[in-house]
Structure formats: C-alpha cells, structure tokens
Structure 1
Amino acid sequence: MQVVLVPIVPGRGVSLWEGLAGLEDGYDVESIASATTGVMHLIVRLKA
C-alpha cells in the first residue's frame, strides 16, 4: 500500500491514522526518513 500524505490540517474530514492500534499484528510496518528533504516513507506489508 502506498499513501501520499501532505502535512496540512484542513480542519475537517477523517484522519487516516485514527484507530490503527494493533496494526503491527497483521502487518510489517517500516519507516524510512530522508534527512535532506524531510520526507517520511511508511511501507506497510501484509505479514505472510
């Protein structure tokens, strides 16, 4: 899964990150940060 998230707060809508407790139980989650651009990549893979 690839999700592009721009760090803005529009004031309404639904947060993608609400209710993700236990995500690591069924998925491998890896984060990679770029020091030069400030971009954070989150890689979510279904566990085999």
Structure 2
Amino acid sequence: GLGLAICRQIVKGWGGKIWANSAGKDQGSQFYFTVPIIQTPKSKHSKARRKR
C-alpha cells in the first residue's frame, strides 16, 4: 500500500533498512526497520543553558 511505500522512502532517506515477515495468508505481518544513530557532541550553548 501507499503507507509502506512512504515508510520505505523515509527509512531509506535516513540510511536505514525496512523489511516485513509473515507466517502466511491471513496470519498478519510484522514490519521492522533500522536507522543509524549518530551521537553528536554537546554544544557550548547547551552546556550554558544547563547551568542556569
């Protein structure tokens, strides 16, 4: 459907992967995705804000 196509584009744009599993007809489906997480260093501005 359209929802899955939209999700696929979003996840792909973030550099991730999306996939689905199903036990068979009329058994439902499970959808999974992964996206990379990049931790950024704290900025000086955010440190000053915490001191207030």
TM-score, structure 1 length as denominator?
0.41
Q: Which one has a larger percent strand, Structure 1 or Structure 2?
A: 1
- Between structure 1 and structure 2, the one with the greater Rg is 2
Q: Which one has a larger percent helix, Structure 1 or Structure 2?
A: 2
